[in-house]
Amino acid sequence: MTEIHHPWTAADQAAMAAFRAKLAAHPIALTRTSFDRIVEQSAPLVDGVDYSEARVGGIPGVWCTPASRQEGVAMLYLHGGGYFLGTARAFRGFVCRLAARSGVAAFIADYRLAPEHPFPAAYDDARAAHRDLSQQLGAERVAIVGDSAGGGLALSLLQEEPSAACGVLLAPWSDLALTGNSLDTKAADDPVLTRSVLEDGVRKYLGAQDPRDRRASPLYGRTRGTPPIQVHVGTAEILLDDALRLGSSEKTEVHVWEGMPHSFPRSVALFEAARAAQEIIAAFLRANLVPTTDVRSMPITEISS
């Protein structure tokens, strides 16, 4: 595993201080509605991308299809939210940027959420969507991408689906047994995520089932034989160790961003690091999915509200 460290910029230090102050003054009551609103505000939609609802493998979701795209490749995006929050619609603004910059159409899966649909519902849905993309829809090369809980879900699939071309994990929640030291050592630094929120997610998703089941906690799955994987994580988040303990595979590249909070690449309106991380992710996707150089990063123009 290769670690690449990115320094904290002065602009992001100021942005992070303002972000902390805003959260301290206006704490957020975490609900499905408030979570979706936060995600949507962090990354507005952009022009040059078509958004369409569809079903892939029987799983509902949203396609983000850039005007300039490569045929025969696709991205499966698995959203975060602790397995009990999040929708494909809310994540369009972030995923459309990855699609536009990489030239790869992306399907955001609306996998079933807990507690209504406990483990392994999310895993089963993600697997069904991936297999339909690769086997039925003609995508010759598929990337599996996800953030937080979706990042852990993506890694579980990457360990079991040899046909996947590559994966990108943003602050992956890889250990539902909650054994990482950073859960405690980074608790005071993390302005977004808490151990109690993760414990709530475990209760709702797993109940009394084994938290070390590799389908829920890929940290305990195999580390060899996976396709190339790129990971992004901030140093100001309690899931730091979930990213740093992923194993020694020579095809895993971990980008560690100084001072950044949980799933920071989604916050394009706030952090320079988010925009820089997106460029790195897009280049990785192009290198592993698009063998030619005819698809370049599209200019990003936000849709006026």
pLDDT tens for residues 72-107?
999 999 999 999 999 999 999 999 999 999 999 999
Distance of CA 238 to the CA centre of its chain: 16
Q: Would you say residue 288 has pLDDT above 50?
A: yes
- CA–CA gap between residue 144 and residue 153 (Å, rounded): 9
pLDDT band at 150 (very low <50, low <70, confident <90, very high): very high
Average confidence score pLDDT of the chain: 92
> What DSSP element (H or E) covers 257?
strand 252-257
Task: Taking residues 168-185, report their average pLDDT.
Answer: 98
Question: Which one of 79, 232, 255, 262 is the catalytic residue?
Answer: 262
**Whether 262 is catalytic:** yes
> What DSSP element (H or E) covers 231?
strand 229-234
Task: Render pLDDT for 32-64 as a digit per residue (tens, 0 to 9).
Answer: 999 999 999 999 999 999 999 999 999 999 999
Task: Render pLDDT for 178-208 as a digit per residue (tens, 0 to 9).
Answer: 999 999 999 999 999 999 999 999 999 999 9
Task: Output the six-digit token pair for 20.
Answer: 């902390």
* pLDDT in the model for residue 304: 38
Q: Would you say residue 294 has pLDDT above 80?
A: no
Place of tokens 């030239």: 103
Question: Which one of 237, 253, 255, 267 is the catalytic residue?
Answer: 237
Q: Would you say residue 295 has pLDDT above 50?
A: no
- Nearest residue to 176 via CA among 198, 208, 143: 198
Per the CB < 8 A criterion, the answer to whether 263 and 171 are in contact is yes
* pLDDT in the model for residue 305: 33
| Burial category of 149 from C-beta neighbours within 10 Å (exposed 0-12, middle 13-18, buried 19 and up) | buried
Which CATH number among 3.40.50.1820, 3.40.47.10, 3.40.50.1370, 3.30.360.10 corresponds to the domain 2-289? Answer: 3.40.50.1820
Per the CB < 8 A criterion, the answer to whether 211 and 217 are in contact is yes
Distances (CA, A) of 93 to 84, 167, 235: 20, 20, 24
Question: Which one of 102, 148, 156, 182 is the catalytic residue?
Answer: 148
Per the CB < 8 A criterion, the answer to whether 133 and 76 are in contact is yes
Task: Taking residues 137-163, report their average pLDDT.
Answer: 92
Per the CB < 8 A criterion, the answer to whether 155 and 229 are in contact is yes
Distances (CA, A) of 57 to 126, 203, 267: 9, 28, 30
**Whether 237 is catalytic:** yes
Task: Output the six-digit token pair for 276.
Answer: 């820089």
